[in-house]
Amino acid sequence: MLATVFSAALQGIEAELVHVEVNAGETGEPDIILVGLPDAAVKESKDRVSSALSNSGFKSPETRCTINLAPGHLRKEGPCYDLPIALGLLAATDQLVQKQLSDFLIAGELSLSGATRPVRGALAMARLARKLGKRGLLLPPESAAQAALLEELEVYAIESLDQAQRFLSGEISLPRAIPLPPDIEGVESMADFSDVKGQAAVRRAIEVAVAGFHNILAIGPPGSGKSMIAKRVPSIMPVPTLDESLEVLSIQSVAAPASSSNSIHFGRRPFRSPHHTISDVGLLGGGTIPGPGEVSLAHNGVLFLDELPEFKRSALEVLRQPLEDGLVTISRSAGKITLPCAFMLVAAMNPCPCGYLGDSQHACRCTPTQIQRYRARVSGPLLDRIDIHIEAPAVSVSELRSGKPGEPSAAIRERIEQARSIQRLRFSDTQVTNNARMTHKQVRQVCNISRELGDLLERAMNQLSLSARAYDRILKVSRTIADLAGAEHIAAPHLLEAIQYRSLDRTTSI
């Protein structure tokens, strides 16, 4: 007897339909044959399924059975086909009525006892089910909570193979899965800017950067608070919208190990801080079967690169396209995927190899050649794509001893949200949501400046040897500064502040 169960295969952060076809009653020695381009984890499913069937009180097939995972050209990976294979075997051996099988998309790993375990990509599967017009999904409880965020679908949390069989046979009814709640506790426990002593200029630059979603680079000696400030950036970022949260969750649910719910933070903007030894693939994404890297995991959030010159040159250079386009395309033999990566880059570096260039308390031991070689590790084209460069001087002892707390994150976030609301209204008819993502045409429309300010900007471009790309960057930052001030037009103070944020820029051929 032939039975078909619908499941899904992950391709990047999207899911594609997989037909799990089970044919029982074939002539030959009793055996389970699995075809359809399965990987090692999928091939092991037949052993897990056999034990799960036996321990759940069902009869194992007594004839030869062929299981086909179609389409055959699509590579199947992971243990998510255990549950659909088991249900297909039950249907093919008349232990389950097939009536409701076609209504649901089904996925889940099985333990030897028949209990279910979570799978990756639940939200991607839910989007696929909605696209296909399915009634809903049957998933393990941890995965079902993610899929239930799409309220128009019926999502049921399945705890065991026996429960799934009884539900599909109509013996029991189940309540719909409860959607994953926002991580309110994590948001409230974020480090606050009130802990930061001094560094008024850096705090101001960070506020401007977050208000327009601009990339920022802080340069300063060790202990000046660069990392401390960077880790507090999420506390002043606007609360993500539902669509932004779902985009972040879809990436996290695909990239995180299925058994690790600790890496899923729904309702929070991601903060990723990879070590400088990270590989190109780890940063950009890829692998034998392409998957998201750190740039995609930071989507709609912050990618913090500490000790920027210590990263491999090749790893830094792969950031060019993501910083420019907000998308990254990865091509491998197993397929080609495009992943979102609209992140805010926050980077930090020392001014020289020893870190004390320009520090009044410590003498720099570096030669000019060493300093030049150290700074050259960060290429001109990459610096071009960082909108704001700010110096972070060492904090004085008197500032550290001060008992007066700094401005809290809530006050800074309020100003930023007001600026963001101006930007949302400005770009309401477009796909752009912030000033940093303005196109060249939009810059010309939104960032109009007077002839006098144009002459001022031209002189600055010539004196500081700024590149052509820096011209638009300065105008975008100027527009953000004007938004923070509630100004309708860019004025001289806004433009001058934006110009002084290009201190490390230089003309370099790409």
Dump pLDDT digits (tens) for 173-196.
999 999 988 877 666 678 889 888
- Crossing angle of helices 82-92 and 45-55, rounded to 10°: 60
The pLDDT > 90 percentage for the chain reads 65
Is residue 507's pLDDT more than 60? no
* Residue type, position 280, single letter: D
Looking at residue 506, its pLDDT comes to: 45
Looking at residue 508, its pLDDT comes to: 38
Looking at residue 398, its pLDDT comes to: 78
Q: Which fold has domain 2-168?
A: Ribosomal Protein S5; domain 2 (3.30.230)
Pairing of strands 285-286, 291-292: antiparallel
State the average pLDDT over residues 148-173. 95
pLDDT digits 0-9 by tens, 443-494: 999 998 999 999 999 998 888 888 777 889 999 999 999 999 999 999 999 9
Please tell me the distance from the alpha carbon of residue 345 to that of residue 283, in angstroms, as a whole number: 13
Q: Which residues contact 162 (CB under 8 A, 6 or more apart)?
A: 56, 57, 114
Is residue 207's pLDDT more than 80? yes
Place of tokens 């790309």: 469
Place of tokens 């002593």: 197
pLDDT digits 0-9 by tens, 333-349: 667 788 899 999 999 99
Confidence category of residue 358, pLDDT binned at 50, 70, 90: confident
For residue 495, report the phi and psi dihedrals to the nearest 5 degrees: -65, -40
pTM for the predicted model, two decimal places = 0.88
Instruction: Convert 456-466 to b/e letters by CB count within 10 Å (16 or more is b).
Output: bbeebbeebeb
Of 123-137, 155-169, 403-417, least confident by mean pLDDT is 403-417
pLDDT digits 0-9 by tens, 42-56: 999 999 999 999 999
Of 160-169, 279-288, 314-323, least confident by mean pLDDT is 279-288
Please, where in the chain does CATH 3.30.230.10 lie?
2-168
pLDDT digits 0-9 by tens, 419-438: 999 999 999 988 898 999 99
CATH number 3.40.50.300 given to 186-409: yes
> How far from 77 is each of 9, 73, 268, 281, 488, CA to CA, in Å?
8, 13, 29, 20, 54
The answer to whether 268 and 234 have CB atoms below 8 angstroms apart is yes
- Chain centroid to Cα 373, Å, comes to 33
What is the side-by-side order of every strand in the sheet holding 216-219? 271-272, 302-305, 344-349, 216-219, 388-391
Looking at residue 510, its pLDDT comes to: 30
Looking at residue 260, its pLDDT comes to: 54
Q: What token pair was written down for 481?
A: 């500064």
Q: Which residues contact 431 (CB under 8 A, 6 or more apart)?
A: none
Across all residues in the chain, what is the average pLDDT? 90
State the average pLDDT over residues 281-310. 90
Pairing of strands 216-219, 388-391: parallel
In 3-state terms, the chain is what percent helix, strand and coil (to 5)? 40, 20, 40
DSSP secondary structure code for residue 159 in this structure: -
Please tell me the distance from the alpha carbon of residue 465 to that of residue 355, in angstroms, as a whole number: 25
Please tell me the distance from the alpha carbon of residue 1 to that of residue 168, in angstroms, as a whole number: 18
Pairing of strands 64-70, 14-26: antiparallel
State the average pLDDT over residues 129-157. 95
State the average pLDDT over residues 278-306. 89
Please, where in the chain does CATH 3.40.50.300 lie?
186-409
* Residue type, position 197, single letter: K
Looking at residue 53, its pLDDT comes to: 95
pLDDT digits 0-9 by tens, 76-132: 988 999 999 999 999 999 999 888 899 999 999 999 999 999 999 999 999 999 999
Q: What token pair was written down for 267?
A: 């309702």
